[in-house]
Structure 1
Amino acid sequence: MTAAPALLAGRADGDVRQRRQAWTVTALLVVFMMVNFADKSVLGLAADEIRADLHLNATRFGLANSAFFLFFSVAAIVVGMAADRVSPKLLILVMAVLWSVAQVPAAIGGGLAVLVGSRVFLGAAEGPAFPVAQQATLSWFPNHRRNLPSALITIGITLGVIVSAPTLSWVIQHHGWRTALWVLAVVGVVWALAWAVCGTDSPRAREAAAADEGAVAGRAAAKVPYRRIFASRTWIGSTVAYFTSYWTVALMLVWLPSYFRNALDYSADTAATLVVVPWAVGAAVLFGQVWLTGRLMRRGAGTKAARGRVGAWTLVVGAACCLAVPLAGSVLAQTLLISVGLGFSGAYATVAATTVSEIAPPGRDGGALGLMNAVVTVAGLLAPAAVGALVDAQGDAGYQHAVLVSGGLVALGAVAAFTLIDPERDRAQLLN
């Protein structure tokens, strides 16, 4: 008679421990993404100093930033698919250690070749970060509870820039841009040690998938080839929309500080503060997406509306604000439109990740997220170089034209999201 209550108590304790582990992993991976985007943003924050130190024009500086994404996409595909078979904890630990190692050559010294080489290596190590972090986090939660943890991982991107922009800018102004690289190397090592001690893989895997979908569906899903996932309209629509969103993210990371300093004539300190605003707008939009998506799903709405349409409207607002920048009559109005436009445009990552995770059968989510991230981050390869060429060709006007190009691309992404995304339809087709 006492065995049943004891068994129930044991299960309850196990559930509490698992929930605690789930949120511990989520918190650590939020910081992981903060470090990731601090690494990405440091060259943009030091753009004028690096260009002066290494005697670079805008095009060459843009190409140096684009080099970061040279193997970024390839690494995202390879490691994303490996994450379906190899411990995500191990993959994430190796990535974090490599990030720190990658900062050292340029921190020690050298010219453009050393800087480019270190950024190529860093990009290859960071390419899989977002999809693997999303997979590692989402595997702890059932589909209906994934919006918040996925949003928190994406918020790590924003927090990384919000924290690093003023901090690294101060280091750059007072101690030089190479010292900022040393700071990032140390931070990466500290995080890796914390992850080695506290990080853990989810026990969910196939057992939870079978519980959610049924044993038969789970076995059938394991046989679904990747090509069917990549050919689904939802995967294509999410990837196209996210690509246009990531274009604006690359613009913010590399060129926004220079835009504020050179085209809008803000001081270096003011620009370091203002560069945070679009990211803060994006964070607010992200939490708004989570709240609205959750509310719609609780009321019985399908994920076509709750994820696809909500994300599409976010892109519409971002595109409209970016395209309205030339109409602004003052620097303040331009700053507000740029901040709102880029903030809304860059807040699509969570929608993309949760949508693709929803349609991907068990054992295929790592590869599905990895290839999406690989395609999307090609925007990071193209955008910095394209904007640099515009600035060299047109001077300060090139910055504004870069925002207009971004607005047009984001509008196309919104169209793709509206017309292609229907997760429930495509998941049913993949499981049949």
Structure 2
Amino acid sequence: MPTILSSTKRCTALVADTAPLQPAHAREAAQGRRWVIVASLFLFMLINFADKAVLGLVAIPMMHDMQLTHGQFGFVGSAFFLLFSISGIAVGLIADRVNMKWLLAALALIWAVAQLPLAWPTSFAVLLLCRVLLGAGEGPASSLALHVVYSWFDDRERSLPTVIVQQGATAGVIIAGPALTYISQRWHWHATFLTLGAVGIGWTILWLCLGKTGNRQHNASPALAVAGAAPRAASLRLRRMLGDRTVIGVMLQCFVAYAVIAIGFTWVPAYFRLGLGFAATEAGWLFALQVAAQIPIGIALAMISHRMLKRGVSSKVARGKLISAACVVSGLAYCALLFGAPPLVKVALMGLASALALQTFTFGPMLVAEVAPVARRGALLAITNSIFTTAGLIGPVAMGKLLGAAGDARGYEIGFAVTGVLLLIVGTTGFTLIDPQRSKRRMEGAPV
């Protein structure tokens, strides 16, 4: 009997000693898993932006083969955004109540389906329908990808994973520039759409094997965290949240920056060829290099912001004022295109301007997620994204009309300068509007 008791005590002690190891092991596994998710969503955004960039990269041969005018091609560019915002809002409203694994897989599959009909000769009507379908599938993509990331990371940990996922967009354009140009030159512009369709199907299969949502429910403000967990937070009126000054400031900056994206994907490669005189291959590489400038600039701004936050600087300064200053500098660089400069200098100015403007898509979602109750974070991210991406409906068409009226080279530069002036305005406005701490206090006191 003493022997049995002794053995029982030893077993109990062994279990007690090893029990704490299980949570530690689980935490390590979760740490590794969340970076696998980040890597998968990096690829998700890479494909997303390669899909967007392809139209501009094949603009000249497509316009030639299909006998499209500048106005028609600009309309095709804007058609992508016809359902982009609507689908973003519709999907955003259900994002907090559905399985994100299946939702993201469905979106990627829609992208592939939208690309494949363009792998063969087709009509203008089919081209329009495919771009509308692609836009409907891509409308919720960025905000939902970040929503999944934020479910794995606390607010103070989000800078690096946000930058990584957003740099997937940059990598998509960098890879698409030379790769899709080569495919178009080596085979035919139709082959670029076949390639993208196959890649989209491949990612869908990968995500179904690896995808998962985390369970982080942390906000920087303890009071807001409690509010987010309570039923009361779930009923907060979206209209009140959308009327918040920080949210408005973010949307204004992102709206103008998205016009930069839409115009860039549709017209910048053509500007490099027709406006600045570069050959097709050179234009593809220069477009990729211009986009590549976003990587060091994005990482640098994210590191600066992260270090400021660690030193106790408020996010009003570390995020709000930093991105507002970036918008101002971007606007000045675009306006400088109106002055005489060699072609390579103009390419460098555009690279700096677009790299700074596009950082709004890193800082903007972090600011919105910081002030939003957790229960409504997915919806607010998707809806704000859908509102500011309506700029995509305006930018390509406006540039096409400007080119028809002012001529190619000068028309491009006037259009870029107009976006520069708008960036100066929204950057300056952001210094006053964006204040996450004030917005969080307002959200906490919002009536049901």
Which band: TM-score by shorter chain?
over 0.9
1:78 to 90, 107, 111: 90
The farther-off stretch of 274-283 and 298-307 is: 274-283
Shift of 1:109: 2.6
Shift of 1:17: 1.1
Superposition pairs for residues 63-212 of structure 1, below 5 Å? 63-205=75-217, 208=218
**1:218 pairs with 2:216:** no
Normalising by structure 2, we get a TM-score of 0.93
Superposition pairs for residues 179-328 of structure 1, below 5 Å? 179-205=191-217, 208=218, 213=223, 215=226, 218-219=229-230, 220-328=232-340
Q: Is the 8 A contact 1:281 1:344 kept in 2?
A: no
Q: Is the 8 A contact 2:176 2:288 kept in 1?
A: no
2:437 to 424, 427, 430: 424
Shift of 1:211: 11
Q: Is the 8 A contact 1:62 1:384 kept in 2?
A: yes
* Cα separation, partners in 2 of 1:327 and 1:216, compared to 1, 3 Å: closer
Where structure 2 has 5 or more consecutive residues not aligned to the other structure, the ranges are 1-12
Q: Is the 8 A contact 1:358 1:423 kept in 2?
A: yes
**1:25 pairs with 2:43:** no
Where structure 1 has 5 or more consecutive residues not aligned to the other structure, the ranges are none
**1:58 pairs with 2:56:** no
Distance 1:420 1:218 in 2: 27
Which residue in the other structure is 1:372 paired with? 384
Provide Cα deviations, 1:243-262, integer angstroms capped at 9, x if missing partner.
Answer: 11111111211111000000
Shift of 1:167: 0.4
Q: Is the 8 A contact 2:155 2:220 kept in 1?
A: no
Shift of 1:332: 2.4
How many residue pairs align between the two structures?
430
Normalising by structure 1, we get a TM-score of 0.96
Q: Is the 8 A contact 1:217 1:431 kept in 2?
A: no
SS at match of 1:56: coil
Distance 2:69 2:311 in 1: 54
* Cα separation, partners in 2 of 1:425 and 1:3, compared to 1, 3 Å: farther
Provide Cα deviations, 1:368-400, integer angstroms capped at 9, x if missing partner.
Answer: 111111111111111111111111111121111
Q: Is the 8 A contact 2:105 2:204 kept in 1?
A: yes
* Cα separation, partners in 2 of 1:4 and 1:402, compared to 1, 3 Å: farther
Give the 4+ runs in structure 1 shifted more than 6 A.
Answer: none
Shift of 1:3: 4.4
The AA in structure 2 aligned to 1:222 is A
Structure of higher CA gyration radius: 2
CA RMSD in angstroms, aligned pairs only? 1.6
Q: Is the 8 A contact 1:308 1:421 kept in 2?
A: yes
* Cα separation, partners in 2 of 1:5 and 1:254, compared to 1, 3 Å: farther
Distance 2:348 2:123 in 1: 37
Distance 2:191 2:397 in 1: 25
Distance 2:228 2:396 in 1: 44
The AA in structure 2 aligned to 1:286 is G
The farther-off stretch of 37-46 and 321-330 is: 321-330
Provide Cα deviations, 1:43-65, integer angstroms capped at 9, x if missing partner.
Answer: 10000011001111111101001
* Cα separation, partners in 2 of 1:38 and 1:72, compared to 1, 3 Å: same
Distance 1:6 1:331 in 2: 67
SS at match of 1:17: helix
SS at match of 2:20: helix
Which residue in the other structure is 1:46 paired with? 58
The AA in structure 2 aligned to 1:218 is A
The AA in structure 1 aligned to 2:229 is G
Q: Is the 8 A contact 2:228 2:375 kept in 1?
A: no
The AA in structure 2 aligned to 1:106 is L
* Cα separation, partners in 2 of 1:267 and 1:210, compared to 1, 3 Å: closer
1:384 to 388, 396, 402: 396
Provide Cα deviations, 1:102-145, integer angstroms capped at 9, x if missing partner.
Answer: 11222233121110010001100111000000101111000000
Distance 2:356 2:289 in 1: 11
Provide Cα deviations, 1:224-268, integer angstroms capped at 9, x if missing partner.
Answer: 221121011010000001111111111211111000000000011
Shift of 1:210: 11
Distance 1:235 1:209 in 2: 17
